Chains A and B, each alone.
Chain A
Amino acid sequence: MILRNDVLLDIATFLARRWSRNPKAVIVLTQDKIPMGKPDKNQIVLPFLNYYPGTDFQKYRQWRVALWYESMRLLHSTKVLSYDHAFGFLLNTVETKRIELLGLRQWNGMRNELIFNEGMSWLSRPLLNSIHGRHKISEAFSQYFLTGYLKGELYGGEFERVKKASEFANNIVVESIDNSYKTEWIEQHISQLIKILELDPLSSIPIIAPRTRIGMSLSQSDVLKQLEKLVTMKHNYKDDKKALKEIVEGNEILSEFESLVKESKKTENKGYESLENFGLSIPQKMDVDETSIYDIDLIQKVKASFRNWKTGWIERHGDMGEEFDPESYAESLPKTFLIDYKLSIKTKVVILLDHSSSIEDVELEYKRATIALCEALHYLGIKFAVFAFSTDERRVKCWVIKPANIKWSVISARRLVQIKASGGTPLAEIYGLLQPMIKSFKPDIMVTLTDGEPSDFDSVRQMVLLYRKMGIHMVSIGVGRNLSDSVSIGHNLIYLNYEKTMAVSRLQDIPKKVINLLRA
């Protein structure tokens, strides 16, 4: 896929939070599911790009419009029901129109993209003639209400019912907007809609097959012709060729798409086919909520402590002696006596996190401290990589949380949150597994956070020495439950050949301690 999922997730999270004005909005990418906003969970579920038909750019444009709709749903809707029964289907459909109208008031620039999306999604809509059963009329209502036209034919009094239902639905949408009524008010009128359509509220609506299977037989030029026809028919652009061209080509969004493609080309693997070949594992689940390990206060405090470094250098004034007479001193020296030191951080850091079973009872706090540390390192522009180890299904796993050449983002946080603390502390094996990565990245400092005794002291000593011979400053931080516990762990770590060993009993101190190591 031309756009990596983590890159999509990054832009989607940013846009969703801005569009919905909800700083907690979380995006979940999942295979072949219809886009859905869940206001109660602050969540937006989106399919992968290949859910949509067309070229890569066209897929992206449709995906982005889906993100916008669901962001508007987070902002303006209080309830989203399941699409698979008539009541829920109809409520969600009416809400879609309402949130679209409300959304366009603020995000008027989305108009062209919405028109494009309507044209493309039309190609994927089912032909009414091919639908049998009661749900045909629900689909017909959805088509007519949302677009003003039908794809296929209706028989008997079906069209009259659909038309009447659409008029009714349009009226309730207008009334709700004029009076600032919300979802609950709309919901009260769905029963009436069901009556008009002569449906059973619980009749099931089958989920339409993924859109990629529909419209694929058309060539690109056919797709574009179809699109132009629909856009002209619906929006009367026939006299404005320029406007039509803009909608079809989408140049507004093209630059953004191209920069995302460029970002996606940065690869984690540096030419290696798969990190798994090196015994390193990547937590794969993308539908996890990482917000539980974001302690915003801690993150702000850590960043505030190191804010001076953000400019790239800090000032230190040199001052010597007890009595200082400026007059005589200035007379004796021709030049100024202020000395400014420019200390910049060019350090490359690797952080290794112990996720053995002994941290289980402080797992959440430990992860929050790690997130705060990573947020601060990212803020300071320091190059860093993060790994973790645990035992998963009786196998020692070394997890890649954040590779060196991929920037810190919510993806890395999601990887961290899904690692369960379990197993022992096989430090030597982990150092062994990481060796190729470390040789390639060549960090200045490697910080190991651990709270236990390693399985094999001698092996660890040898591995630490090996790394030191590579020119890496090896530092360990002993994490204990209380002061005496952490001091005792620290004492044990001293014998493992680390250049520097520290102990910490308050997990919140971890970020500052690590960053202070980077000062020259």
Chain B
Amino acid sequence: MMMEINYLDWNNAIEILNKAYETGLFALIIGPKGTGKTTLVRKFASKTKKELYSVNFSLRTRESHLIGSKTLDKGDVSFVEGILVKSMRDGSLLYLDELNAAEPDVLLRLDEALDDRRQLILKEAEGQIINASNSWFVIATINPLSHVGTKELPPQLLSRFPVRVRLDYPPEDVELEIIKQHATIDNSKTNDVKDAIKLARSLREAAAVEELYYSPSLRETIAFAKLLNKDLAPKEAAEIVFANAYDQWGEVEYRKVMDMITSIFGN
């Protein structure tokens, strides 16, 4: 039984992806971490009833993971297809997560498959030509350059995704609704959750101008709500979820965030 995917489509992203799919134009979702990019793609896959093949490039994905490799099976050498090849043959939805963390050799092979011919030549398997099925569709995500470990996506690869969807942090009221989908919020605690959202927004604004080195995502605000449900005091929950992460950059950074927390939650 397919699990119901909870996704609040606050900026019409699903409709844009639908249109992209109907016109056969691959899509790129751009946004900071923790804004729901993967959930959006999973929701889209579930709505279109397409099988989803995912690759996350921040995990040092190699070319062989995408294309495939030779293997010895009962004395015979055979070729085991990688995820890219399988997805092209099956016409499924290929999800390329954090594409701009990929290595140059990997991007080169992808570029080959993503151009208008939708074709891949397997030099690994005697030059076999793989043609993508008509229903093959690709969605990629990238984090903005402020994310550690990311590089700029080369222009030719960027051009393979003519439909671009921005998925930034949602407005505060929307963020509250998203949190409610993941954690039950008691009426008496709604104001505390709203305060946590305001705190997250302040920290994100500081990170955007690099006054702080880390930007909290929706995961943090959801974690805060869950900790509140376990009867942790709001200020303590905020310290655990938001402030402690900054300690790795030193006492002063940590204290700046604690100061913000104190100004919001007091005692």
Residues of B within 8 A of A106 (CB): 198, 264
Is B251's CB under 8 angstroms from A18's CB?
no
Given known A-B contacts A259-B251, A307-B151, A107 and B205 have beta carbons under 8 A apart: no
Given known A-B contacts A109-B263, A111-B266, A255 and B206 have beta carbons under 8 A apart: no
Residue in chain B with minimal CB distance to A19? B263
Residues of A within 8 A of B256 (CB): 11, 14-15
Is B209's CB under 8 angstroms from A310's CB?
no
In whole angstroms, how far apart are the Cα atoms of A308 and B152 in the complex?
12
Contact with B along A260-290 (1 / 0, CB 8 A): 1011000000000000000000000000000
Q: Interface residue tally of chain A, by bracket? A: 35 or more
Task: Quote the shortest CB–CB distance from A511 to chain B (angstroms).
Answer: 15
Given known A-B contacts A108-B195, A307-B145, A252 and B206 have beta carbons under 8 A apart: no
In whole angstroms, how far apart are the Cα atoms of A18 and B209 in the complex?
11
In whole angstroms, how far apart are the Cα atoms of A24 and B231 in the complex?
39
In whole angstroms, how far apart are the Cα atoms of A109 and B251 in the complex?
21
Q: Given A308, A326, A327, A379, which contacts B210 in the complex, CB threshold below 8 Å?
A: A379
Task: Quote the shortest CB–CB distance from B145 to chain A (angstroms).
Answer: 5
In whole angstroms, how far apart are the Cα atoms of A379 and B210 in the complex?
9
Is B264's CB under 8 angstroms from A107's CB?
yes
Q: Which residues of B248-267 are within 8 A (CB) of A?
A: 251-252, 255-256, 258-267
Given known A-B contacts A15-B259, A18-B206, A259-B251, A310 and B148 have beta carbons under 8 A apart: yes
Q: Given A10, A110, A303, which contacts B263 in the complex, CB threshold below 8 Å?
A: A110
Is A252's CB under 8 angstroms from B150's CB?
no
Task: Quote the shortest CB–CB distance from B205 to chain A (angstroms).
Answer: 7
Contact with B along A7-18 (1 / 0, CB 8 A): 000110011011
A253 interface contact, C-beta 8 A: yes
Task: Quote the shortest CB–CB distance from A214 to chain B (angstroms).
Answer: 28
Task: Quote the shortest CB–CB distance from A172 to chain B (angstroms).
Answer: 27
Is B255's CB under 8 angstroms from A256's CB?
yes
Task: Quote the shortest CB–CB distance from A264 to chain B (angstroms).
Answer: 11
Is B152's CB under 8 angstroms from A263's CB?
no
Contact with B along A296-319 (1 / 0, CB 8 A): 100010011001101100000000
Interface centre among B145, B211, B262 (most CB of A within 10 A): B262
Is A256's CB under 8 angstroms from B209's CB?
no
Q: Which residues of B229-262 are within 8 A (CB) of A?
A: 235, 251-252, 255-256, 258-262
Q: Which residues of B201-223 are within 8 A (CB) of A?
A: 202, 205-206, 209-211
A200 interface contact, C-beta 8 A: no
Is A304's CB under 8 angstroms from B206's CB?
no
Residues of B within 8 A of A262 (CB): 251
Residue in chain B with minimal CB distance to A299? B210
B149 interface contact, C-beta 8 A: yes
Is B145's CB under 8 angstroms from A252's CB?
no
Q: Which residues of B126-154 are within 8 A (CB) of A?
A: 145, 148-152
Q: Give the tally of cross-chain contacts (CB within 8 A).
A: 84
In whole angstroms, how far apart are the Cα atoms of A83 and B265 in the complex?
33
Given known A-B contacts A108-B195, A263-B252, A23 and B262 have beta carbons under 8 A apart: no
A246 interface contact, C-beta 8 A: yes
Residue in chain A with minimal CB distance to B70? A327
Q: Which residues of A440-454 are within 8 A (CB) of B?
A: none
Residues of B within 8 A of A18 (CB): 202, 205-206, 260
Residue in chain A with minimal CB distance to B249? A381
In whole angstroms, how far apart are the Cα atoms of A110 and B252 in the complex?
20
In whole angstroms, how far apart are the Cα atoms of A109 and B234 in the complex?
11
Task: Quote the shortest CB–CB distance from A189 to chain B (angstroms).
Answer: 30
Q: Which residues of A65-107 are within 8 A (CB) of B?
A: 68, 106-107
Chain B facing A: main interface SS: helix
Residue in chain A with minimal CB distance to B69? A326
Given known A-B contacts A18-B202, A23-B209, A256-B259, A304 and B152 have beta carbons under 8 A apart: yes
A21 interface contact, C-beta 8 A: yes
Task: Quote the shortest CB–CB distance from A271 to chain B (angstroms).
Answer: 23
Q: Given B148, B209, B255, B264, which contacts A311 in the complex, CB threshold below 8 Å?
A: B148
In whole angstroms, how far apart are the Cα atoms of A307 and B150 in the complex?
8
Is B262's CB under 8 angstroms from A252's CB?
yes
Chain A facing B: main interface SS: helix
Residue in chain A with minimal CB distance to B206? A18
Is A255's CB under 8 angstroms from B255's CB?
yes
Interface centre among B195, B198, B256 (most CB of A within 10 A): B256
In whole angstroms, how far apart are the Cα atoms of A97 and B2 in the complex?
56
A42 interface contact, C-beta 8 A: no
Residue in chain B with minimal CB distance to A296? B209
Task: Quote the shortest CB–CB distance from A379 to chain B (angstroms).
Answer: 7
Q: Which residues of B62-104 are within 8 A (CB) of A?
A: 69-70, 77
Residues of A within 8 A of B266 (CB): 108-112, 252
Interface centre among B150, B251, B261 (most CB of A within 10 A): B251
Task: Quote the shortest CB–CB distance from B108 to chain A (angstroms).
Answer: 14
Contact with B along A237-259 (1 / 0, CB 8 A): 00000000010000011011001
Is A109's CB under 8 angstroms from B264's CB?
yes
In whole angstroms, how far apart are the Cα atoms of A520 and B258 in the complex?
38
Is A259's CB under 8 angstroms from B252's CB?
yes
In whole angstroms, how far apart are the Cα atoms of A256 and B263 in the complex?
12
Q: Given B195, B205, B235, B261, which contacts A23 in the complex, CB threshold below 8 Å?
A: B205
Is B258's CB under 8 angstroms from A256's CB?
yes
In whole angstroms, how far apart are the Cα atoms of A393 and B243 in the complex?
49
Task: Quote the shortest CB–CB distance from B223 to chain A (angstroms).
Answer: 20
In whole angstroms, how far apart are the Cα atoms of A106 and B197 in the complex?
11
In whole angstroms, how far apart are the Cα atoms of A302 and B154 in the complex?
18
Task: Quote the shortest CB–CB distance from A26 to chain B (angstroms).
Answer: 14
Residues of B within 8 A of A307 (CB): 145, 148-151
Task: Quote the shortest CB–CB distance from A62 to chain B (angstroms).
Answer: 15
Residues of B within 8 A of A10 (CB): 252
In whole angstroms, how far apart are the Cα atoms of A21 and B252 in the complex?
20
Residue in chain B with minimal CB distance to A108? B266
Task: Quote the shortest CB–CB distance from B206 to chain A (angstroms).
Answer: 6
What are the 6 A-B residue pairs with the smallest beta carbon separation, nearest first? A109-B266, A259-B255, A107-B263, A109-B263, A18-B202, A256-B255
If A107-B264, A300-B145 are given as contacts, then 16 extra A-B residue pairs at C-beta distance below 8 Å, sorted by A number, are A11-B259, A15-B256, A106-B264, A108-B195, A110-B263, A110-B266, A252-B262, A252-B267, A253-B259, A253-B262, A256-B259, A259-B251, A260-B255, A262-B251, A263-B251, A307-B151
Residues of A near any B CB (own CB < 8 A): 10-11, 14-15, 17-19, 21, 23, 68, 106-112, 246, 252-253, 255-256, 259-260, 262-263, 296, 300, 303-304, 307-308, 310-311, 326-327, 375, 379
Interchain Cβ contacts under 8 Å between A and B, 5 examples:
A255-B255, A255-B258, A256-B255, A300-B145, A326-B69
